[in-house]
Structure 1
Amino acid sequence: MPATEHQQSFLGRISIRRNQVIAMDGNHEQELEDLELFQRHTGDRFADLLSLPDDSPFPGETFLSISWLRKLVDVLLCCEAEFKALLIMGRDPSQIPKPPLDRLLIDFMERTVKVLDICNAVSGGVDSIRQCQKLAEIVVSALEQKPIGDGQVKRARKALGPLMSALTTDDKENNHSRYAERTWSFGRRGSNSGGNHKDRATHGPFRSSSMVVAKNWSAAKQIQSMCSNLTVPRGGETTGLAQPVYIMSTVMVFVVWALVAAIPCQERSGLSTHFQIPKQFGWAHSIIGMQEKIGEEWKKKEKKGSAGLLEEMQRMEKLGQSLIEFVDGFQFPAEAEKLEEVAAQVAELAEICQRMEEGLIPLQQQIRELFHRIVRSRTEILDLLDNGKASQPII
């Protein structure tokens, strides 16, 4: 069953339960069944991501590509909707402030604030990739010309320099020296977020046009902090609401971790070592599989010094290195065989630019939707906590 059908079926079932009067024993059995469905749907969605099915709705999808990341964010949005339904719909508010759920929800609320900051950082990273796309389009425009002469090669070289610098830059060097303020999680933007095109170009391709962060802000530390109090439910907690809180927290951490690994963000050193997922849960098997694959790629990235694991950026970097060799050694007229090779590389670079043009803005819109969804969910859960405390009898 597709993810959207899973979600509609699950939400419909919870909605029906909300309007029914069920005996306590029956209600407990129903909650156990709902919890089992939530775990199964979560596992199925991530299994689809790991297997990369041929009938994917996103053409050209590969692991850690733009379209794959769009599907990843969509999975988080679906899981978040089911989690909120499981936690809130048909719930007696007086159940919420009781331990250990009260403490777990407070930790969850703090974790979501960090997710909001990472959403801002990733959205800014998408802007930086779009700047790389513009530079790559200049290279394509120059080297598509026939015949290729000194003027076209000079224009391509001028764009390839900053492009390759951006694609191989170190996170800390790239960001800490350029971002002076922080965009806070709930919508306040820094004063340097605008500026004309010339100002942005002066700061290079990784000057974000949508957000700025403090010099000491670290995506890696944010994720590490999110994991610090992420503990596995034990004993009776495994059959109560503590379990879906843990599942949702793990899913949330994994998704933002994968986004930070793929998209350029400030300070990501040691990202592959920050959290582990227990293997005893069936819903976690596919997440662990993807985590291992991304972790191995990240270790290579740290050795190589490239800007991110996004598949399109990796391909763009390889093509850029080859095209730099061509323009640096260019002599007119170039050999026919070499021109054919370059034409194929330019066509591939154009195809990457097209995929970026089609996918980056929708990805950024999904990240913004995730941001606003989490803000709304935080408000609803905090209201539930407040109502639960108010409904408790005074002793």
Structure 2
Amino acid sequence: MALASGHWLEKEIRGEPPSPHGHAVAVAGSVAFLFGGASSISPEVSPVYFSDFYMLTVTWEEIPQSGEIPSAREGHTLVVRGKLYLFGGSSSPEASECLPGVYSFDVSLAWECLSAGGVAPRVLRSGSAAAGDNIYMYGGRLEGEPTDDLLVFNTWGQSFTQAGDQLFMFGGYGAGGTFCKDLYALNTKLQWQKWEVKGESPPVCSGQTLTAHHDKDIYLFGGQICSKESTATSSNEIHKLSIKMKWKVPLYVGIPPARRHGHAAFILHSHLYVFGGKNEEQDLNDLKVMKLINPSERQPMKEILSEFGLQGVSHFTPTKVPNVRYELLLQVCVHRDFSAVRDQAMKMIQAAFTLLDQEFQKLDELKEMLEKHRNQNEAWLRARAEENDRERRELSRLRQEEVLQDQERLKEEQSSVQKRSEHLLSIMQQFKGM
């Protein structure tokens, strides 16, 4: 029997939520930090860009900022590696390259614009991840075209270079605006490897999130899916990539989030958090949570023990199930006399048949009454029809007589007019003779 591996939860989130989409999220300890983003009312209106800074501890709280605060933007990168590092993004829909500068944020609640050496990033919508002391950036769009540049930012030397963990990349746009569905991995030796993945692969998409859960599974959520008619629609599907390089569609309970792309996602304490994004109908700034149930078979009791406050327990002794013995006992059968029960049942049956006869008799009476009313109605309708026919004939006769009378009157008037005309002619002739 298949078991649910996820449970979408309805959690009460306090505080005023940040901007809907295009923001960047990073997790440090038990706190998720979010910076910037954008909000668009409609495609005809230019989006509004934000430079707000929030942290989430199940309550959204805006963080006071000081120092060299980054400008308002969306589509940027926010990565935790000792400090919070922020770079990239744009503040205009027509931007051809990203905003300059690399910023860091620490416990002093102050931003600092770093003096980074090397090749500065210029691409928009790039993918990023941290491994060791480095932050890796790959791909994106530069002057409207997709690029495959790989940049590495060293947090110690604070410089970009073009270029024991693996970074995974899935989907996105390729050359010619086509969607991709390949899975690639980049190791720390900067070697790309294309993986042959089994299972039910996700549809081609872009704007999705790819979130790693420790070293066990990678969760893909949402994105824009390209159909056969080349139309892109938002999705709320969730897929899981296991360490065996196999795609799975995890079973879950609860109500999933609305369809979206351009959102942010992170995993904290075996809970997948999905925030914001947008779809074809609206901007979203809701926070949805999925509890990951037994994400790995290697430690199936770890989460259960932690819920009871047992930390660091690495051994488990299962309860021994005793052997169960079943014994069938012979019961003494006592023959009973059911004649009284039978007589009572027969009386009840006869009473039921009597009631049925009465009901059928009522139905017959009702049928006769309906037939009588039908005959009366038909006779009344026939009488009314005959009366109407007589009235129509009488009206027709009267009308015909009126027409004949009018004709006679017209003839008389015509004769009178003729006589007057002749009289006038005779008078005129007399005047001529004079």
TM (norm. structure 1) is: 0.22
Larger Rg: 2
More strand by share: 2
